[in-house]
Structure 1
Amino acid sequence: MSYLNHITGYREDILSSRSIVKKGNFALIEPDGLVKNVIPGFEKCAVTILASPKMGASFVDYLVTMDQGGGFLKGFGGEGIEAFLYILEGRVKVKNEDKEAELTEGGYMYSPEGKKVSFENVGEAPARAFLYKRRYNRIEGHEAYTVWGNINDVPFTPYEGMEDVRVKDFLPSATDIGFDMNFHILSLKPGACHGYIETHIQEHGAYIYSGEGMYNLDNHWIPVKKGDYLFMGAYSLQAAYGVGRKEEFAYVYSKDCNRDVEI
């Protein structure tokens, strides 16, 4: 086990961290201090587990850096498990039994339960990806199916009527209840914000890939920026302001949906 940012040895200052973990409620995880995990199946990869049931999430999020030829070649996911892969940078060959595609930055593939997905860095430079898995919640008469594409080809739409807050959807969950989750991108221009502080049963795992923001996590306003990861549990209050000068505040995030609560 070693550190993801390759910084080793003593620091010149006292040990400190911006990370906050409130199990089952919310978490902010900054890049500094993240460790690499050895996980069977990942070859020539640096893998960090960001959220998991041990944190209180119903899903697992990973940050994966693949050296040339690296990846998960034996098939990730499997019986009862749905998976989603989003390419942050690089050139990656991705396939399941339905589809094979070469994805670049912004490329993604959703693989439904029972259909393992394999991926390999086919470029010369390292590739980086955001990886997700979750146990699929099946309902009679409906099922999810393989979806792939590049989110850069999907236009932004105003988020709840706000022109300076924009959203993209990866999956057709809004019209097909066979899907029990979705991935989105939310982008806020400097000064823009949510229309209200949200309180809902859905969970989120969010990777910030651009800009800076102030995030309300369970009514604590916390500064966040590019490279940070956020977990928001069920009923954890949440909202954000976009701040900074150079980039929009933007993040990719998951959300469970389309299912009743089991008791």
Structure 2
Amino acid sequence: MRSLHLIVFIIISLLVKASKSDDGFCSAPSIDEKTKPIYWKVTNPTLSPSHLQGFQIFSYYHTNVLFSSCHSVSCRIGTNTLGAYLITPAMGSHFVMYFAKMKGMSSSGLPPKNIERLVFVVEGAVTLTNTSCSSQKLTVDSYAYLPPNFYHSLDCVESATLVVFERRYEHLGSHTTEFIVGSTDKQPLLETPGEVFELRKLLPASLAYDFNIHIMDFQPGEFLNVKEVHFNQHGLLLLEGQGLYRLGDNWYPVEAGDVIWMAPFVPQWYAALGKTRSRYLLYKDVNRNPL
């Protein structure tokens, strides 16, 4: 099976090198990316017309797997904020993943009772205020975990785009979660035996937490060493770069701004293509019995 992965990967790599057109997936747009802020492609995807400002419906199903490119159906979240739901329980997930595009002078609302929330900033900046009335500024690549029933407010003066995860918290004995604010670059690199990618986790690995968010970095040509199959659910946002994702028996070219929901026991594998690092953010449920 691994030999098949390598053969497919080599073929795709040769196609990338041979392509001279600007129209294909593997051809980067004629924009100097060095002058753009990190994660700019998430809010300016290749497939999205400029007049839609990144909100384009482009999705399809395959055997209980949803692959969604760009953003999905939109709704209002909080004050002066446009939301785009990407993953919901209607698909079979037990969590919600959505984009919140906050406009100038906007504020967030609170999640329902017993719902925990994690926000990750992909564009702009917001100010987070908690129960002690202390305020912290969250900029691109920073995040906050808000425990269930924890009062907070996210306020935006200019504009910002957040990716938000919410789920009903599963209590385990006397364990409780804590309010956390952090940034990706402050999280340590973790050991990945047998693998070549770089891994960071945004939340503690303790039993109190029923999910975690992984940040995974692949250099061009790097790939997962094994095809993974497990009972965990995933919600994935490709933050940077491009690559090839296997889901079930199908292979999908992906690029920054694409979102994938992986149901339990769906075979999955990834290889990074292109000339720059690819990075994705991955939701994973942990520390709870699947029953």
Alignment correspondent of 1:48: 84
Alignment correspondent of 1:12: none
Distance change in 2, residues 1:224/1:18 (3 Å): farther
Among 156, 162, 172, the residue aligned to 2:195: 162
Give the aligned length: 240
C-alpha contact (below 8 Å) 1:219/1:238 kept by paired residues: no
Q: Tell me how large the CA RMSD over aligned residues is.
A: 2.2
C-alpha contact (below 8 Å) 2:194/2:225 kept by paired residues: no
TM-score by length of 2: 0.76
CA drift at 1:18: 6.0
Residue correspondence of structure 1 range 1-263 to structure 2 within 5 A? 7=51, 19-22=59-62, 25-31=64-70, 34-39=72-77, 42-72=78-108, 75-97=109-131, 100-122=135-157, 124=158, 126-163=159-196, 165-173=197-205, 176-245=206-275, 247-262=276-291
Unmatched 5+ stretches in structure 2:
1-47
CA drift at 1:107: 1.1
CA drift at 1:80: 1.4
Measure the CA separation in 2 of the matches of 1:95 and 1:26: 37
* 1:199-233 per-position Cα deviation (integer Å, ceiling 9, x unaligned): 11111111111000100111311111111111001
SS state of the match for residue 54, structure 1?
helix
CA drift at 1:167: 0.9
Distance change in 2, residues 1:57/1:116 (3 Å): farther
SS state of the match for residue 74, structure 2?
coil
Unmatched 5+ stretches in structure 1:
9-16
CA drift at 1:19: 2.7
SS state of the match for residue 152, structure 1?
helix
Which structure has greater strand proportion?
1
TM-score by length of 1: 0.84
Which structure has greater helix proportion?
2
SS state of the match for residue 108, structure 1?
strand
Measure the CA separation in 2 of the matches of 1:97 and 1:184: 27
Percent identical: 27
